[in-house]
Amino acid sequence: MASTSGGVYAALTTERAGPTASDSPRDRRPGTGAGDPVNVATGGQVAPLRRIVPPDVLAVGAGSISAAKIKRIARLSRVKDVTAVAGGAVQLQGRQVNAFAVDPSSFRSWTPPGTAKRTELWEALAADRFVVSSAAAGQLQLTRGYRYPVVARTMPNLMMGGSGPLGLPGIDMLVSERSGGEMGLVPNVAVLVNAPGVSPAKVVKAVRKVLGPRTNVLNLHESRYRAGDGRSSGYLDLYKQAATTCPGLSWTVLAAIGQVESDHGRNAGRSSAGALGPMQFMPATWKAYGVDGDGDGKADIMNPFDAIPGAARYLCANGAGRGGKQLYNAVWHYNHADWYVQKVLNLARAYAARYA
């Protein structure tokens, strides 16, 4: 049977169915982040998007991955976020489609920024409608608002809630956790891992060691798994790409600031001083230096695809590309404290040594 995903995951089967350079982006003491986002959806409502968590590794098992193994992955060095989802191969419009069953409030953070921000898609999932990739919507000639039979262990008629880039190779359909349970999708068959600041290849090796040889573990940074525009979705690559916009600025400085400010997006909420996003900009400074890095027409302070190049732009305006005292001064402008500059530069040296 032909598959819209190209049969990437054999494990998914139906067997179990004009600014000045002196404005500081933030001025706050350490430890004032707003904490982790709320990821609970009740009554069909979807929690607001608090952050983007670019997945670095996707692992798909031959069956359910045990809770103990998922905890072992979460405890791996430098792993920051892990989420496990149910999945399986279903039939839709006579074609095989790989589906994930997800909690819309939490899973939206793991999708491409443009998709994550489309609240209507996640509200549709919360209402037990299904969402498909843009490619599947075209290939299967699906229409939003129409009901379609989905063949799994059961055959529910589900309404299409919308489509968009899902950012996961081989996965073309999302359903709610309730729908997935009724359809017999395999619980915890897949795990997404976010490990900023670490070589994805090393994470793949560590995850495969935990899960065993029957698990398909993918490095999502490989070119064959990137979006059609070639952009990466990982923080490490975002730091490297943003640094190229400021000749002379090392990506390690951006990575160090990202670690100090939000632990690479883990604590991107509003600080006590009002700073926001993964790079913790003050809104007024963001208005002057914000960048539309993902080309969606909006410079979003909460979006790492925008915030990281925005930080590079701000640092460059303060002379960071010239190195030495100018770099020190540029980082000092980011937060007016010598302890902050020393911490950032020490972390930058640590990143440089690790990736030398």
Average pLDDT over residues 278-293: 94
Dihedral sign of CA atoms 179, 131, 114, 297 in order: negative
- HSE at residue 316, side-chain half, CA atoms within 13 A, is 17
Task: Indicate the pLDDT class of residue 148, thresholds 50, 70 and 90.
Answer: very high
pLDDT of residue 242: 94
- Evaluate if residue 282 carries a pLDDT over 50: yes
- Evaluate if residue 36 carries a pLDDT over 60: no
pLDDT of residue 54: 84
Average pLDDT over residues 323-335: 95
| 32-36, 148-152, 310-314: least confidently modelled range | 32-36
165-215 pLDDT, tens digit per residue, is 998 989 999 999 999 999 999 999 999 999 877 788 899 999 999 999 889
Task: Indicate the pLDDT class of residue 12, thresholds 50, 70 and 90.
Answer: low
278, two tokens? 């993964």
Q: Phi and psi of 354, rounded to 5°?
A: -65, -35
pLDDT of residue 24: 57
Kindly report whether the global pTM for this prediction surpasses the value 0.85.
no
Task: Indicate the pLDDT class of residue 236, thresholds 50, 70 and 90.
Answer: confident
322 contacts 343 by C-beta, under 8 angstroms: no
Q: Phi and psi of 190, rounded to 5°?
A: -135, 150
- Evaluate if residue 120 carries a pLDDT over 60: yes
DSSP letters for 142-173 = --TT-EEEEESSS--EEEEEEE----STT--E
SS3 of residue 188 by DSSP: strand
Q: For residues 96 and 7, give the distance between their C-alpha atoms in angstroms, rounded to a whole number.
A: 9
54 contacts 194 by C-beta, under 8 angstroms: yes
| 75-84, 194-203, 285-294: least confidently modelled range | 194-203
Average pLDDT over residues 220-245: 73
Q: Give 136 or 1, the one with higher predicted confidence.
A: 136
Task: Indicate the pLDDT class of residue 133, thresholds 50, 70 and 90.
Answer: very high
pLDDT of residue 10: 40
| 27-36, 210-219, 332-341: least confidently modelled range | 27-36
Q: For residues 49 and 109, give the distance between their C-alpha atoms in angstroms, rounded to a whole number.
A: 7
Q: What is the DSSP letter of 108?
A: G
Average pLDDT over residues 130-138: 93
- Evaluate if residue 147 carries a pLDDT over 50: yes
Name the percent of the chain in helix, strand, coil, to the closest 5: 35, 15, 45
89-107 pLDDT, tens digit per residue, is 999 998 999 999 999 999 9
Beta bridge partners of 149: 157
Q: Phi and psi of 261, rounded to 5°?
A: -75, -45
Task: Indicate the pLDDT class of residue 25, thresholds 50, 70 and 90.
Answer: low
pLDDT of residue 263: 84
Q: Phi and psi of 174, rounded to 5°?
A: -120, 135
- Percent of the chain surpassing pLDDT 70: 84
